[in-house]
Structure 1
Amino acid sequence: MDGYSRLVAWLKVLLPLTALALLSMLFLLSRNVDPVASIPFAETEIQERLRGQQITAPFFSGTSKSGDRVSVSAGTMATAGGARNAATDLAAHIDLTGGTRVILFSDRGEFDMSAGASLLEGNVVITTSTGYKLNSEELQTDFDAMTVTSPGPVSGTGLSGTLEAGNMRLEKQADTGNAHLIFTNGVKLIYRPQELEE
């Protein structure tokens, strides 16, 4: 047997033994991991989850009696007593039979599934396919009647410029299915035709 063959024969034994020794050292010298300490939740979040049932990233969709399509998604949703559900990071898309689309966003809100109603609160943004983008702090939605109401002030932009109002109501005409925005209680409109030309 020549030197090269002897070297290959020794390496066939030494290399697997070296690999085995390295793996053994990894397990023997590794730190112990505390499984409880590695859970990525804050103590308050754990207590909240233990108090009530909670769903992460829920998505609901359906159709109203008049044929309007509604889809709702949220960051989290938890029971708030009875048929009410409290949610965070809400987004609702409403496609009316007349062709208008209304998109609603808010930081938090409550849904009453049995009543087909919702209350959105905190940085509410209303966007319509007709060119309106409005902001409010509170928005009440009735999915059966397909109405959206802001009991407090709203501000934003529309086709003709910027506007402010004390209240706003979006309602659907029964005969055409088209949506109409009704602003009341001190409406202030600043007409900006140059924005239309751009």
Structure 2
Amino acid sequence: MAIPRRDLWHTRLVSVLKVLLPLIALVLLSTLFLFSRKINPEDAIPYATVDVADRLRDPKMTDAGFAGMTSDGASLTVTANEAKPTAAGGTMKRVLGTLQTPDGAKTELVSNDLALDTATKVIELSNGAELQSPTGYLIQAQGFGVATANTRVESRGPINATGPGGQLTADHMLLSKQGGAGPYLLVFNGKVRLLYQPNR
């Protein structure tokens, strides 16, 4: 019995494809290796942009910060571009801080330098220290001492301030809680002078 031509053609096609398709696959694979781009090790993604040897000699953290809560319920958060550990606690550079009391009032703090003393539980802000009070006063001083255990911010030396009433100078400034259930008050004392400017 003779095999129909149609079945014979189909059988021959399958036989040819069995040989041809693997050959095409081999050719494609070989071209991948022949024409592939060479890898340049210098193009690798830099996982670290810091000098490791420098970090080992001088340990520090970048984009550092800490947060805490005082005994009277105020929250204190501090962020800095750089922080280093010390025997007394630590130092920070280019500092931004926020002290928020339970009544919702926010006091903003700025300085170029910060020193944390864990023994006295005080952070010292210096070198361009400024305080923005919730009542609208911008206060500048040589430095500010900020307690971490309770709400207390005290100027180091005399202050210069500008606010809703005008320009003010004083020998000392203190932000603290008055008594157990009293309010939070910003007090200027010593030789206080106010240049009243009602239109400010």
Question: What TM-score, normalized by structure 1, do the two folds share?
Answer: 0.71
Contact 1:96 / 1:178 at 8 angstroms: preserved in 2? no
Instruction: Choose the corresponding residue for 2:70, options 60, 64, 86.
Output: 64
Quote how far apart the aligned CAs of 1:143 are. Answer: 2.2
* Count of residues paired in the alignment: 178
Q: Which residue of 2 aligns with 1:143?
A: 148
Instruction: Choose the corresponding residue for 1:174, options 168, 173, 179.
Output: 179
Aligned pairs (5 A) from 1:88-103: 88-103=93-108
Quote how far apart the aligned CAs of 1:124 are. Answer: 1.0
Q: Which residue of 2 aligns with 1:54?
A: 60
Q: Which residue of 1 aligns with 2:23?
A: none
Identity %: 24
Quote how far apart the aligned CAs of 1:69 are. Answer: 1.5
User: Over alpha carbons, which structure has the higher Rg?
Assistant: 2
What are the superposed Cα offsets for residues 12-58 of structure 1, whole Å, 9 maximum, x if unpaired? xxx9999877654x65xx6x7499xxx7557xx953x3234322222
Answer with 100-109 or 49-58: which moved more.
49-58
Quote how far apart the aligned CAs of 1:111 are. Answer: 1.1
Contact 2:83 / 2:91 at 8 angstroms: preserved in 1? yes
Contact 2:68 / 2:148 at 8 angstroms: preserved in 1? no
Where structure 2 has 5 or more consecutive residues not aligned to the other structure, the ranges are 1-27
Contact 2:142 / 2:156 at 8 angstroms: preserved in 1? no
Quote how far apart the aligned CAs of 1:116 are. Answer: 2.2
Measure the CA separation in 1 of the matches of 2:141 and 2:101. Answer: 22
Contact 1:58 / 1:75 at 8 angstroms: preserved in 2? yes
Instruction: Choose the corresponding residue for 1:79, options 60, 82, 85.
Output: 85
Contact 2:90 / 2:115 at 8 angstroms: preserved in 1? yes
Quote how far apart the aligned CAs of 1:108 are. Answer: 1.1
4+ runs deviating over 3 angstroms: 15-24, 32-35, 39-42
Counterpart AA for 2:72: S
Instruction: Name the SS for the 1:50 alignment partner.
Output: helix
**Structure 1 pair 103/193, CA: closer, same or farther in 2 (3 Å)?**
same
Measure the CA separation in 1 of the matches of 2:34 and 2:182. Answer: 76
Instruction: Name the SS for the 1:189 alignment partner.
Output: strand
Q: What is the root-mean-square deviation of aligned Cα atoms in Å? A: 3.3
What are the superposed Cα offsets for residues 69-91 of structure 1, whole Å, 9 maximum, x if unpaired? 22122112111114x11111212
Quote how far apart the aligned CAs of 1:113 are. Answer: 3.4
Answer with 171-180 or 161-170: which moved more.
171-180
Quote how far apart the aligned CAs of 1:96 are. Answer: 1.5
**Structure 1 pair 175/87, CA: closer, same or farther in 2 (3 Å)?**
same
Measure the CA separation in 2 of the matches of 1:68 and 1:134. Answer: 20
Quote how far apart the aligned CAs of 1:105 are. Answer: 1.0
Measure the CA separation in 1 of the matches of 2:125 and 2:173. Answer: 14
Measure the CA separation in 2 of the matches of 1:88 and 1:184. Answer: 30
Instruction: Choose the corresponding residue for 1:124, options 123, 129, 151.
Output: 129
Measure the CA separation in 2 of the matches of 1:147 and 1:74. Answer: 21
